[in-house]
Amino acid sequence: MRRASPLALAALLALAVSPIAALPAAAAPAPRFAALPEDSAKAKDKLTADGRYIVELKGDGDVDKAKGRAAKLGVKADHTFRNVMKGYSAHLDATQLAQVRSDPDVASVVPDEVISMTGQTKPTGIRRVNVPENAIANVNGIDGTAATGERVDADVAIVDTGIDKTHPDLNVAGGISCSTDNPNAWGDPNGHGTHVAGTVGALDNGYGVVGVAPGVRLWAVRILDPAGDGLISWYVCGLDWIRAQRDPVDPTRPLIEAVNMSVAKPGKDDNNCGNTIDDAMHKAICRLVASGVTVVAAAGNNHFNAANLKPASYNEVITVSALADTDGVRGGLGGASCYSWGGYDQDDTFADFSNYGGDVDMIAPGKCIWSTLPGNRYGYISGTSMAAPHVTGAAALYKASRPLATPAEVKAALRASGTLDWKTSTDPDSVHEPLLDVSHLVALGDYALDTTPGVGGTLSGIAGGSYAVPLLVTRAEDFAGDVTLSLDPGAPFTPTLETPLLSGHDAVSSTLDFTIPASTPSGTYQITVHASDGTRDRTSIYPITVDADAPGSSAPTIHLRGPALSGTGTPGSATWPAAPDAGSGVARYEVRWRVDGTLGTTTKVASGSTLAANRTLSAGHTYALRVRAVDAAGNTGPWTESAPFKPGIVQDTSPALVRHGAWSRGTNTSASGGTTLFSRSAGASIETTFTGRSFAVVSTLGPSRGQARLYIDGVLVTTLRTHATTRSFRRIVFARTWASAAPHRVKVVVLGQPAKHPRFDLDALVIVP
């Protein structure tokens, strides 16, 4: 946990080490993110694992003796493992491979593999997970003035491309390189690791950005080459080095509290720590976690189930998916201003590139994350690689006052403090992971105050409305002291507290009651809540947006619609334009049908985007629809009403229908009125005139039915096609509604086509005067 002495550090850095790889990040927005230079020819050559193997010994086998036996076979080990496993890695030809496998002390020899990276302001991700509200992150708040002594007292290893050791915004404690011949070359030639490090722990120093755990000691574990690729053996080498580091104050504990792994490769969890399938990577992680080190892994950027990727699929790690957050606050109102991975994501939605599934434990911001880059620079990168370090920083906050907490306890605490305050409907799977929220993480013996707990955020209220909102005090497991709550009134409100004194460990909630005066204009307001235990004060602000503007309304229009008549009724639909609203936006509509002058009950339309109400309209009855809009704050607009709508059915027997050419009458009880007029003769026609504002043509569909042309007021408007594989009756094959009633002439002309089924049936017309 605490930094080792320089002498001890030098000794640690002298250990033998080896290389590995990370998850590809999305392209950053061009105006803000410059390309990183390659530092060597190594970046130009694609890394391969050809001929490389990882040799694991049985139990506590003697690594030096095993290497000695291998040396006699001409094998030169390039990395030695003594902590997360006993063994080494090396190039082996076919003969050497067979001989090493025959060594009685060797448990397994598995091919090495390539692994790759996943891809002072307060960055949006830092604000979205509520770092400014976390008391551990800075005892004086995130204010850009933190002294060295106020840095988060924890150690985090960044298993990645390295860290820029000279960046002034990072507290880099040291590191190791497993991807180069020089173990001290743990600087960052790529930029990925430095970006991750800034999100974990950039200093609160008034400069650049701030991390989740400001000033935490960062250890660079470089397992990737400049191109962001590496080998499993390099990965195991890095974990082996981490496992070897012990707390200089208490050597029984590991030095490193948390490890960030933004790397991935195809693979699955055998649910046996890799022992069933000889997964060296899984074995190493299990042994590292068993030693007390919390491991956080990126879910990956393939937009598939994270169960197909490792280490994301391992049960022992905390797997993190990516949230698209564009404004750093809850509510999903930030729009889609961030472009990466080939598109835009809406605010507070599941990132379109992120992996998902039951192996994912948490979600955190991962799209267009602003953080540190080598050379005292900053830039945007997107990916689950950028989401994972938010959670790693949170693990460091938790462990800072709980150094003995196990990885399982850390995972449980972070998940319990998270919320579902994001658009979970965009999650590709049905199990929604909690969004990281560090405002509820408190140090031992401490407490925190939250005026907006759980799902929710800024209240959208209406003038004249009364509200009761919950307040939450989060207590550390060992803090049961009294907490006194008080208020700053905050005009124009006169708020009160239901329970101003919270006594005992289980006393964690109160209620804030207030009324918004009827004369309050639209605008943004706040109520400030204070908490004190006698020595420590906490403050939280409850934001309120007052929407005093009722939405507008436009009169609906009633139409005829398909698919078929029902008895003496015809399907109808009332539609209306979207209501304008200058405030919180329309949340829903309320409608009331009027039938023959009598108003029915009010029905709520479920969504503000639903602009229609359907019902059956019986012939000879008069209908009208009233509609009004209700906005998200609860303001109700005025009722508007459609013009009266009285459908009538003109049966095929009506003398108003004038026939020309050969027509016959067919009888069928399924037809409207029991009969239809039909013709197979090309040019045969039926016409009528009426004064009205809506009409529909009713026909019969079937295998022997054909086509006819429809003319309205002498203009051809469509071809009526009645051929179908099965026969059906009373089908509405055309409908039209005008803005007002007017004289019209309608004519149907039989085409007599196609030759095999020329017949056209006219069952009825529906006319609305």
Q: Which of 677, 669, 590 is nearest to 631 (CA)?
A: 590
Name, in order, each residue with C-beta under 8 angstroms of 483's C-beta and a sequence gap of 6 or more: 447, 449, 473, 501, 502, 507, 531, 532, 533
Q: Which two tokens stand for residue 725?
A: 């594989």
Choosing from 167, 192, 195, 440, the catalytic residue is 192
Residue 664 and residue 679: Cα distance in Å, rounded? 6
DSSP state of 144: S
Catalytic residue among 112, 153, 160, 761: 160
Quick one: which of 222, 223, 201, 208 has its CA closest to 154? 201
CA separation for the pair 634, 513 (Å, rounded): 18
User: Taking the mean position of all CA atoms in its chain, how far away is CA 655?
Assistant: 64
> Which stretches does DSSP call E strand in 300-367?
309-310, 318-324, 339-340, 343-344, 349-350, 362-365
Question: Mapping DSSP to helix (H, G, I), strand (E, B) and coil, where does residue 63 land?
Answer: helix
CB 226 within 8 A of CB 116: no
- The identity of residue 196, as a single letter, is V
User: Quick one: tokens of 751?
Assistant: 């085409």
CA distance 283 to 275: 7
Tell how far CA 454 is from the center of its chain: 17
CB 348 within 8 A of CB 435: no
Rounded-to-integer distance, Cα 744 and Cα 59, Å:
94
Q: How long, in residues, is the chain? A: 769
Active-site hit among 108, 385, 401, 417: 385
Question: Is there a contact between 747 and 753 (Cβ–Cβ < 8 Å)?
Answer: no
371: annotated active-site residue? no
**Pairwise CA distance, residues 431 & 362, whole Å:** 11
Q: Which tokens hold the place of 84?
A: 């997360």
- Amino acid identity, position 712: I
Active site residue 513: no
For 152, which DSSP code? -
757 tagged catalytic: no
Residues carrying an active site annotation: 160, 192, 385
